[in-house]
Amino acid sequence: MCVEGLRQLRARRSDERGGQFRPGPRRVLLLYPSPYRAAMSSLGFQWIHSVLSDAGFAVERAVLPDDPDAWRGPLVSIETETPVSHFPVIGVSVAYELELAGLLRCLELSGIPALREDRNEGHPRILAGGPLTFSNPLPLSPFVDAMLLGEAEEQVVPAMDAALTEDDWLSVLEGLPGGLVPSRREGLVPVAKASDALLPARSRIVSPHAELSNMVLIEGERGCHRQCTFCVMRRSTNGGMRLVDPDRLLELVPDYAPRVGLVGAAISDHPKLVPLLARLVEAGKGLGISSLRADRVALKPDIARLLREGGYSTLTVASDAASQRLRREIAKGTVERHLLRCAELAHEHRYRVLKVYMMVGVPGETDADIDELVAFTRELASIHPVALGIAPFVPKFATPLIDAGFAGQKLVEHRLKRLRRGLKGAADVRATSARWAWVEAVLAQGGPAEGLALREAVLAGGRFADYKRAFAGTPALSRLERAA
């Protein structure tokens, strides 16, 4: 047994507030294939935990250890330290493509064969869901028995019931909206949509060790009415936003939560966001918010003021493309005056820094677009300190840019080098890896074959060179190379 890992697990468990575990005969495990700090900042993971707990299941959690290589002994649950392999049913929440490697490590540490075909009735039944199911979960197919695609809160209870009690539980899963059984069907099924009556999703467990420390998460709206061509969430389950009334949100905020995180793909477009933030600040709550739109912040400056009063030190917005031309082409509504106004507001309210998220390698991008970004970022930095958070563009399933191709590691690295050189001494440039973006792009285009290739790479050590060898000749890589 991993003594240090267990000591850490117990310390984290003792520091949690909310979500008291209730033992019972209907035991299931929820597994998150990333470390604790990410798991407990995942609203979807926490929400399904609450839904199942309220339905009478004895729900336990397990996560990928912070250092999987140092873990000794079986992976165990947080609540009772039961080995993961002892649970009859495991529900896995996968947020994005690179977490598939974490799932394989969790199964390895649990002594559970990764491949579905290598498991038998003595092994747990494995059901997967999560944000990845809105785009392309097919690389997950070789490793799970079934999936719930889309909004799973209405399906997860009958699905778990069937997995616990029915011999032919896969037939039950097939009959549920969003239910997919990879061994019986190739391809995808339509994603499920939850009833509006179940909104909002919210978390109960608050932890100082989460990425969003001591913060309860609550959904202010679901879906997005915007049509950014690169974004998976443009594929909303009802074609637009589903709003949650502020009074309802405030009723659900627990007293024990010092901070409240408002979550939603387009939360800053909520028409009542400003009064909602004001009421939370008046109640003495710290604030967090996802997906700030620069145009909303510019048009409603009280958002920046209230977030600062709620403890924000970084004002974070998204530009998403290097130039105004590219923003128009990807249907991003942000223009330069919005970002300039955000810089002014960051200065006015004494934020530490204005952080601007964007992508490089967007289809049609040239060095001239990068040079425009350099010049404009310098203009922003003359108003207030700026940090650029940059991710290479990855074409995703269910978006108009799925066939756009990946710009390539060399080109992305060239653009990042040009950007850093142009902004040296003027702004901080923080970029994610072009190499791992390539891995993500292959998986985003892939299917079961790419999932099996990923397993080869993980077994070989999980280095980038291992992925490069394993993906050679796969259908997804061939498509990406043709598109490029």
User: What pLDDT is stored for residue 236 in this prediction?
Assistant: 57
pLDDT-based confidence at 97, cuts 50/70/90?
very high
User: What pLDDT is stored for residue 309 in this prediction?
Assistant: 97
For residue 74, is it within any domain? yes
437 CB burial (10 A radius; 0-12, 13-18, 19+): buried
How many domains does the chain contain in total?
A: 1
Computed over its alpha carbons, how large is the radius of gyration of the chain?
Answer: 22
For residue 86, is it within any domain? yes
**pLDDT tens string 437-448:** 999 999 999 999
Q: Count of H helices and E strands in the chain?
A: 18, 15
**pLDDT tens string 318-373:** 999 999 999 999 999 899 999 999 999 999 999 999 999 999 999 999 999 999 99
Residue 433 CA to residue 430 CA, distance in Å, equals 10
For residue 28, is it within any domain? yes
**pLDDT tens string 9-60:** 999 999 999 988 999 999 999 999 999 999 999 999 999 999 999 999 999 9
CATH number where 84 lies:
3.40.50.280
pTM confidence score: 0.95
Residue 173 CA to residue 156 CA, distance in Å, equals 10
pLDDT-based confidence at 211, cuts 50/70/90?
very high
Q: Residue 447 to residues 96, 108, 182, 475: CA-CA distances in angstroms?
A: 14, 22, 11, 9
**pLDDT tens string 56-71:** 999 999 999 999 999 9
For residue 27, is it within any domain? yes
User: In percent, how much of the chain has pLDDT > 90?
Assistant: 88
Domain that holds residue 66: 3-180
pLDDT-based confidence at 291, cuts 50/70/90?
confident
Mean pLDDT of 198-220: 95
